[in-house]
Structure 1
Amino acid sequence: MTPSLVRNAFSNLLGAVIPALVALGTVPLVVKGLGDANYGVYSLVTAIVGYFAVIDINVTAGSVKYIAEFNARQDQKRIDETVFFGLAVYSLLGLLGAIGLYGGAHFFVTRVFSVPPQLVGEAAATLKLAALGFFLGQLQSYLQSIPQSLMRYDIAGRIEMVFGTGVPLLTVAVLMLGHGLFEVILLRVVASAINCVVLWRCIRRLLPELAWRRPGAQIRRELLGFSAYSFLSRFAGLSYAYADKLIIGALVGVTGLAYFTVASTLANRILSLTFRLSGVLFPAASALAARGELERLRALYLKASRYVVFINASVLVLVAVFSYQILYYWMNPQFARAGQVVLAVMALSQFIDSLTSLPSLVNDGMGHPRVSGMFALVRAAFGLVVVWFGVDGWGIVGAAWGHLIASVLMTCIFLAAVHGRTVPARMKDLVRHAYLPSVFGVGLVAVLADAGNRLFDGGPLDLVLLVLLTVALLFAWGALFVIEKDDKILAWSRVKGLLSMRKAV
């Protein structure tokens, strides 16, 4: 992998890691400040707002692809058309969604979901305020993609890190000052507005010649044509990500929803971080495919898969094995008892889902968004049916097991369908080169860690020592059997270079 690609990957990752850690660290304080029931309402409001994002037709995906191509050809006219077409689309979508949220606020909290009567007024007012946040969030999402399309993940990552860190901390401050749910949402709305201004100023510096230009028919056709099938993936992903919470809110209630949201959000936040590492493969795959360098793309894909699978599997071990302790010390004993199984099962489900991330990026970069879009739609429909039956029969634990069943079945189907067809690598090569180096070693470490967790339950010190030992074993296996020889040589040469520089100083 080229140094430029690696730098962009880690910049993209850093923009998510620090905000994720801060957000997760502040969850207990937010839950305490709002209370379990109010936090459930907060989860419900964010789920409804997130669900409305299904109207996003994913012009962002097409913009990233085409702005990257036009920038490489120094075609400023096409860049102008693409940028302002995207802004027009997302302004319209944001306005439509905001109207729907504002007008339907009272209906959602009184007719659709189980909101306690004493919280109905605040929930409806909060949802109306969140309508403005939805409009700003749509603009923010598109503006964030423009520096990424120019391979300036460093800028996008820094902005995301600042706002992603500041908003959770300010949320805690608002609650400590005695304010409530409405003020928390107001803070997020104001932050989105400022974020949009900062992003626009950065875009103007990156594209100093950017000027308003009416998008021509060809640009509209290309962007909408590519984005139409990418929209299916986004529609399905957002539906699936938020609909489980809506189902739980309707069948179980807001307190059960709070327990499920905390556990599932933790699993999702942690295991989705590596997607930031792999996300830069999309524009890279587009460029390699356009130049016909399929063998180079194949090698890059297999190597990236090898490392991402190992990282995700290692994280899975730490989250699943120590799920009870994580919730116990992070939240409280009640959350640990209610969410232990949910956290472990959802972490495994997220890991299985992560196996489709890199193939989907390469598939789309090769110009086949229809395949990933149709698969995502079927996967979401099947998953929601299974989750519904799981919640109806076994509550929040049933929801987690429903997610896992859907993940295993649909991931196997997708991997078998795309490899050797729209992804230039055979399935057996992927298994041999990417999966097998991690399966045996990480699986053995998981068994040992689980046995140690059962035998040495002596308190925080034993837990810390056991976690450190588990991390050391995972690191040793990765260094010995996962990292490829040429990357070891390159890493060692960089270390020696740094050491020689320090000696010279």
Structure 2
Amino acid sequence: MNPTLARILIKNTFWNFFTQAWLILIFMVTTPVVVHNLGDEAYGILSLIMATVGYFGFLDFGISQATLKFISEHLARNERSQVHRIISTSVFFSLIVGLLGAAIIIFLAPSLIEFIFKVPPVLRNEAKISFYIFSGWLIASLLQGALQTVPAALQRFDLINLINGIACSLQGLVSAWLVLSGFHLKEVVALYLIIRVLSASAFFIVLFKLLPDITLRPMWHGPTFLKLFSLGKWVLVSYVVGPLMVNLDRFLIGSFISVAAVTYYAIPYAIITKLGIIPGSAAPVLFPAFSERGAMMDNSFLLGIFRRSLRILNLTILPFAVILFIFSDEILRIWMGVNFAQKSVAVARILSFAVVANGLAIIPYTLVQGLGRADITAKFHLLELPVYFLLCLFFIPSLGINGAAIAWTGRVVLDAALLFWYIRRRIGLRIRRHFCNEIKWGFLLGAAFALFMLGIKFSTQRLLIQGALILFSLGLYVSVVWLYVLDDRDRMHFKCA
């Protein structure tokens, strides 16, 4: 693996990671304020609105991901005219489908509120207004997705993280101020819309700063669109099915149980899946590199970076998953209150298992996409959807939100198994030699770390002492990994990043 490229990838991954870590802090501080002041039912409605409108992101049709792939390739070959044509076509398309999606959401909102979700009558009118307002978020979000491909292709993740970090920080902090000031659901939703419009506008400015010679105008270039869609058509399947699998549990909880139950599920789900910042920070950085080297058929590079990424992510994600599993009750009690913790702790513990499989699956997923084989992940998603739907129908009515967590865990384990199976065939990944060797130290250290955590949990009930011992154990874990698990090349890349 090229040392310069490795340093760039690590540096950009750090940018992504620290931005997301900061946003987790904002989330941890502001979420209890928003939930307790809005109320469990109103926050559940907010979660359903965001899930529903976010699902319509499938109208991107996979064009933004195809745009990123082709821009990376054309920039590598210095084909600037092709880059301009691709960006203009992508932005114009995003605007058109965004307007279409907003109209569909406005049309469907009354039926969703009245007949699908169990919204209390007193909140139905405000829920409808909030749906109408938030429909505009879809337009801005699709435009931002198209514009963001340029700094991503140029590996300018510092700019991406700066804009998104400021936007998400404002969203959390100002929404907390709004609810403390007596405002309610529709004002919070309006804030989310305004901030997304501002962040999309910022990416317009970044586009012209990075490519000052570009002429961005509404343009429909048929051959360019067909080129994008040829890759994006299979990404579309994943965009339709993927978000449905992400949000299906919440939709069914809101339909079978109540909108308040959505809150008791969504909050532990959110904090557990925040561990996804670790693989999620690497994925957008690795995608352009996978695309570039995949086009060169450089399988040795792909296998090398795949193995290193897998080893480092496994070592990083396991200790935090262990902490969340063992101390989920204490974390939820301090964070959200005793009553909330009693209803949500089992969900947190179940999902802490799933997040490890889901996190590791990000690497093969990103590689498959970078190789231009979006059809593979789309076919896997089509296979997983009926399985997941049946699991939800079986577990949610009988076990409630705990059943939803079990169903989600089963789905992500299946997804990870399928992705690793494909990579084994595509780049010669040997399960015993490559996969098992790369993750064995992580799981051995994870098991030892779990014993440390259990000892801390049962040796003292004083939270300050527990916290101090956890931090000490994390420091010891990092030292062991640095000195005895990472090799010289790994350490060199980190030092130079």
Q: Fold conserved (TM > 0.5)? A: yes
Partner of 2:227: 222
| SS of structure 1 residue aligned to 2:119 | coil
Cα distance in 1 for partners of 2:289, 2:344 equals 39
- CA RMSD of superposed structures (Å): 1.9
For residues 62 and 222 of structure 2, the distance between their equivalents in structure 1, rounded to whole angstroms, comes to 18
SS of 1:274's equivalent in the other structure is helix
State the Cα distance separating 1:55 from its structure 2 match: 2.9
Alignment correspondent of 2:310: 305
1:233 to 228, 238, 242: 238
> C-alpha displacement at 1:457, in angstroms?
4.0
Unaligned runs of 5+ in 2: none
Tell me the distance in 2 between the aligned counterparts of 1:456 and 1:226: 56
Q: For residues 322-401 of structure 1, what are the structure 2 equivalents within 5 Å?
A: 322-401=327-406
* 2:78 aligned partner: 74
Tell me, what secondary structure is at the counterpart of 1:478?
helix
The residue number in structure 2 matching 1:502 is none
Q: Which runs of 5+ in 1 are unaligned?
A: 496-505
Aligned length: 492
Match of 2:131 in 1: 127
Identity of aligned residues (%): 22
- Alignment pair present for 1:186 and 2:190: yes
| SS at 1:104 equivalent | helix
Structure-1 residue corresponding to 2:454: 450
Q: Residue 477 of structure 1 corresponds to which residue in structure 2?
A: 480
Q: In 2 relative to 1, CA 77–220 (structure 1 residues): closer, same or farther, beyond 3 Å?
A: same
- Write out aligned runs for 1:18-417 (5 A): 18-212=22-216, 214=219, 216-416=221-421
What's the CA shift for 1:427? 2.3
Structure 1 CA distance for aligned equivalents of residues 277 and 387 of structure 2? 22
Rounded Cα–Cα distance in structure 2 between residues aligned with 1:215 and 1:159? 28
| 1:491 shift after superposition | 5.1
Contact persistence 1:235–1:377 (CA under 8 A): no
How many angstroms does 1:387 deviate by? Answer: 2.0
2: CA distance, partners of 1:96 / 1:160: 25
* Superposed CA offset, 1:447-502 (max 9, x none): 3312431x13422223213322331342233223431222335656x69xxxxxxx
Distance 1:477 1:176 in 2: 45
What's the CA shift for 1:221?
2.2
SS at match of 1:74: coil
For 1:291 and 1:435, the matched residues in 2 are separated by 28
Which residue of 2 is the match for residue 461 of structure 1?
A: 464
CA distance in 1, matches of 2:24, 2:150: 22
Distance apart, 1:397 and its partner CA: 0.6
DSSP-derived class of the 2:148 partner: helix
Distance 1:482 1:109 in 2: 53
Amino acid at match of 2:148: Q
**TM-score with structure 2 length normalisation?**
0.94
Aligned counterpart in structure 2 of residue 6 of structure 1, from 1, 10, 16: 10
Give, in whole Å, the separation in 1 of the partners of 2:75 and 2:435: 36
Match of 1:503 in 2: none
- Which whole-Å CA distance do the structure 2 matches of 1:267 and 1:304 have between them? 21
- Pair 423,339 (structure 1): closer, same or farther in 2 beyond 3 Å: farther
- The one-character-per-residue Cα deviations of 1:293-331 (angstroms, maximum 9, x if unpaired) are 221221111111110111111221121111111111111
Cα pair 1:62 1:223 within 8 Å, conserved: yes
**Alignment partners' CA distance in 1, 2:232 and 2:484:** 40
TM-score between both structures, scaled by the size of structure 1? 0.93
**Secondary structure of the structure 2 residue equivalent to 1:223:** helix
Displacement of 1:445 in angstroms is: 1.1
In 1: Cα distance, 2:473 partner to 2:13 partner: 26
Q: Note closer, same or farther for the CA distance 1:274–1:164 as it changes in structure 2 (3 Å cut).
A: same
**Cα offset, 1:145, TM superposition:** 2.5
2:426 alignment partner in structure 1: 422
Matched position secondary structure for 2:212: coil
User: For the structure 1 residues 391 and 491, does the alpha-carbon distance in structure 2 shift closer, same or farther, using more than 3 Å as the test?
Assistant: closer
* CA 1:209–1:27: 2 relative to 1, 3 Å: same
* Offset of residue 424 of structure 1: 4.2
- Deviation, 1:273, is 3.8
